[in-house]
A and B are shown apart, each in its own frame.
Chain A
Amino acid sequence: MFKKRSQQSVIDEWQRYQAQQAIACANPILQRFYQMPLTDPEVPLSEVSFMALDFETTGLDPRYNEIVSFGLVPFTLRSIRPSDGYYQVVKPKCNLSEESIAFHRITHSQVATAPPLEKVLDELLERLSGCIVVVHYQHIERPFLDLACHKLWGEHCLFPLVDTMAIEARWERRGWKNQLKETLGIQPVSIRLDDSRQRYGLPTYSAHHAKVDAMATAELFLAQVARHYSPTTAIGQLWE
């Protein structure tokens, strides 16, 4: 009972925020983004258009680090369509460190020819518009995107999204059994993308790449819905 009310307050807050942004935003791109009505939180999962999103960044802190590339893969509960996805490398303002180049397997020459984020941000928002965004670990995608918009246009860009890591935490880290384990000092299970996927029998992918991770996140979400929810679950219940 208590839980339901708290999720309801999350939903209420997002609806208020959306209404407020639709009026307040001065930037035409954000204006367009917020004038698209928010998906009704009562709509069942089976009728929602989702967009899996993944950023590769130079680090974890949006104040000092930047987006290097992003990948998008559209899907519904019925199926994922990888070939309709989108991938973009972005030129950061500062130089890429050697480590992050090795990590993302993105090269100097590739970054050199890539457009800066401001050139592709509208394209990104355009593609997200009208979809429910699904990420694994909201504390990367959400603050990086928000801060990028704020730096560029002086306005915020936040919206409800689904976080497969939060869902995993909800099922693997809560409940009295897990609490008991925690009290006993037993290591909780990992909820990283690859480890979570393994619990649902999903394959391991080799590449570390924004679009591969977006596809992997979409697959994980389908698996989570199949195991823990139902096609009739209201989308608002999963908003973060």
Chain B
Amino acid sequence: MEAELREIRDHLSLHPPFDKLLDDLLDDVVGNIEITYFKAGSMILNRGQSIDALSYIRSGAVETYHYNGELYNRLEEGDIFGQFGLLRQGKVRFPVKAIEDTLLYQIPKTIFDRLCDNDSFADFVELSGSRLKNTIDESLRENDMMTTRVRKLISRLPLMVEITVSIQEAARLMTENVVSSVLLIEPADEEDSDGVFRGDDGGLWRLKGMVTDEDLRSQVVAAGVQTDRPVGQLSDGRLITIQSDESVNEAMLMMLRNHIQRLPVLHRRRPVGVLHLSDIVRYETNSSLYLASNIFSRNSVRDLSRLIPEIRAAFIRLVDDGSNAKMIGDAMSSIGRSLMRRLIELAEDELGPAPIPYCFMVHGSLARHEQSVITDQDNALVLHDSFDPEHHDEYFKMLAKKVSDGLDACGYEYCKGGIMATNEQWRQPLAQWRRYFDEWIADPDPQRLLHSCIFFDLDAVYGEEYLVENLQDMIATKARYNPRFLGAMARNASNRRPPLGFFRTFVMETDGRQHKVINIKGRGLAPITDVIRVHALAVGSKAQNSAERLRDIEQANILPAGQVDKLQYALEFIALVRMRHQAFELRNDQAIDNAIEPENIDTAERHNLKEAFQVVNNAQNFLPYRYPYSA
């Protein structure tokens, strides 16, 4: 296969449903593709027009419309359209318009029909192509390792050197490319002999072996071999490889059977990557870890935003696996922070290095490591005290804007309360931040504190962490000795009561669709978090996470026996009910909210939920005695 067709193939093979195709079939698709281009704003398909090819978006974006002209779907790079028309007597069903300049690969109907003989392809095509639904279904499918193909886990081409280069040169190239193995090749002249492939360069090569970091240690350093010797002598010519369309499961078995940790992956005979045992472990055991590492290989906001379905799928998987709320919150927060770090790195790449040290900090659930699947962004910038607005602010303003816009594109909506670094008030040097906290603590006014209490959950995400630690230390030392401040915070923490009536019935609100609902965040999670925060501030805890705060509170011994356990249990339960609710909504393509319908919860859980609310209620009642407020 020639270079330009490989370009096409490599792109297709990353996107469903093509990622699940056997290599031969994929090659057929690639060999029959025609390329077309549409400028932004032009119609690609008109309703009723005849259609003879499936379209695959190579770059750009399109919108498809309903009969009545309403938007039906927005599709981007890697998505397909035209399948309904092809399945329906070859007439276009949903008109399609390019909303960006768009490059399409057209797959002729004859090939499309053949692809539809393939079950997973047909499933995908019929499933209205909802990417989220698909990703989720896929991640939930049992024995994922049996169906995922090895090539999906490969992220880069293998490093290859001729067997004649010196050991030192090979090691140098490995270091330069940051890889722990290199494949050895030699020129070949006959295409059809064993192990011979046509390289990117069009030349014929024979795969001779592989050299790894371990080989360099055991066969070179330990054996005292001269590093100017050819690298070829380190390989005994035996090499175990795997085909790129084999399952991940098969790859793992091969590694176990042969006591090896690396498998060169071949497409036919051409090496396309090297799979490491850790790739499999990462992929299988912890999809959130896998995601976090995936985030750092994305090079644009757009690429990052394409991870949204995977992030949501990971969330659902965590909930379904029976993880507890703390684990899920931790995992989702790690993803959120990685995403934010990557956005800042990308912004720095574009804007150049910052003129003075700074730290990006987050507030709210992300600071507490308690994030659920969606949340809005609460962030701020703490700048070094050498900050000179005239010379420096332009940079940080741009930085804040890029990060904030990027977060929005990745599903973290702008903060309605304006708590974002794009807001000049929250883009200040450390000294100013200290003044803010000083004022909030020394001159507490419950009304004003209502808006600033979110700042009392704070954590560094990127940059010079000492800037944020400085603030955390200051809060921990000052707050505890200021009873008026604690009293004001306590008063605010009792504002929102759990939805329990006099006879332990739920007090419900009516949502837009006239359903009886409980706002689990506003009336459950937020109040209990507030209560825990007040106690934590009172004992001088520097922890941000509620469970860790509870541990500090326990140690300080300020609550009646058993009370911390109860709070712990109530927190976990309320948080989990909310996450399960959101996972359910995600899976059913509904908008995500915090409105629980108690009718949908089974009796045992309903009972537990009431109990949890009761704990919150009691804890709130206790606050005014412990932290009296005097205006």
Contacts and interface: CB of A to CB of B under 8 A. Distances in A.
A226 B103 CA distance: 12
Contacts of A80: 34-36
Given A82-B8, A109-B187, A219-B37, 14 more contacts: A79-B36, A81-B34, A83-B33, A105-B200, A110-B202, A201-B59, A203-B58, A211-B2, A212-B3, A212-B4, A212-B7, A215-B7, A219-B35, A223-B37
A105 B58 CA distance: 25
A225 B427 CA distance: 47
A79 B106 CA distance: 9
A61 B553 CA distance: 79
Contacts of A107: 187, 199, 201, 203
Q: Which of A75, A82, A105 counts the most B-chain CB atoms under 10 A from its CB? A: A82
A44 interface: no
B218 interface: no
Contacts of A201: 40, 59-60, 100-103
Interface string B93-106: 00000001111001
Interface string B431-446: 0000000000000000
A226 B104 CA distance: 14
A186 B11 CA distance: 37
A55 to B, nearest CB: 15
A209 interface: yes
A202 B39 CA distance: 11
A89 B201 CA distance: 10
Interface in B1-47: 2-8, 11, 30-40, 42
B577 interface: no
A172 to B, nearest CB: 16
A227 interface: yes
9 contacts: A109-B189, A109-B204, A110-B202, A200-B37, A203-B11, A207-B3, A209-B3, A215-B35, A222-B37
Contacts of B32: 83
Chain B, interface SS category: mixed
- A: contact size bracket: 35 or more
A85 B2 CA distance: 10
Interface in A196-231: 200-203, 205-207, 209, 211-212, 214-215, 218-219, 222-223, 226-227
Contacts of B58: 203
A69 B200 CA distance: 14
Interface of B: 2-8, 11, 30-40, 42, 58-60, 100-103, 106, 187, 189, 199-204
A159 interface: no
Nearest to B34: A79
A109 B42 CA distance: 48
Contact of A82 (B5, B38, B40): B5
A54 to B, nearest CB: 10
Nearest to B30: A83
A223 B101 contact: yes
B101 A200 contact: yes
Interface of A: 69, 71, 73, 75, 78-83, 85, 87, 89, 104-110, 113, 200-203, 205-207, 209, 211-212, 214-215, 218-219, 222-223, 226-227
Contacts of A222: 35-37
Contacts of A75: 35
A78 B106 CA distance: 11
Contacts of B199: 107
A89 B202 contact: yes
Contacts of B202: 69, 87, 89, 106, 110, 209
Given A106-B201, A110-B202, A201-B59, A226 B39 contact: yes
Contact of A73 (B4, B36, B39, B204): B4
B8 A105 contact: no
A211 to B, nearest CB: 5
A211 B202 CA distance: 11
Nearest to A71: B4
A75 B103 CA distance: 14
Given A105-B201, A201-B60, A78 B36 contact: yes
Contacts of B4: 71, 73, 82, 85, 205, 207, 209, 211-212, 214-215
Contacts of B2: 85, 87, 211
Contact of B31 (A79, A83, A223): A83
Contact of B42 (A73, A81, A226): A226
A203 B103 contact: yes
Nearest to B6: A207
A102 to B, nearest CB: 10
Nearest to A79: B34
Contacts of A212: 3-4, 7
B203 A109 contact: yes
Contacts of A226: 37-39, 42, 101
B203 A110 contact: yes
Contacts of A109: 187, 189, 203-204
B59 A202 contact: yes
B201 A223 contact: no
Q: Which of B8, B32, B36, B199 counts the most A-chain CB atoms under 10 A from its CB? A: B36
B173 to A, nearest CB: 13
Nearest to A204: B59
A41 B58 CA distance: 33
Given A83-B5, A109-B189, A226-B38, A219 B201 contact: no
Given A202-B59, A202-B103, A203-B58, A110 B204 contact: yes
A39 B6 CA distance: 33
Nearest to B100: A201
A30 B33 CA distance: 33
Q: Which of B6, B30, B37, B189 counts the most A-chain CB atoms under 10 A from its CB? A: B37
A78 B102 CA distance: 14
A203 B105 CA distance: 13
A202 B104 CA distance: 10
Contacts of A81: 34-35
Q: Which of B7, B11, B33 counts the most A-chain CB atoms under 10 A from its CB? A: B7
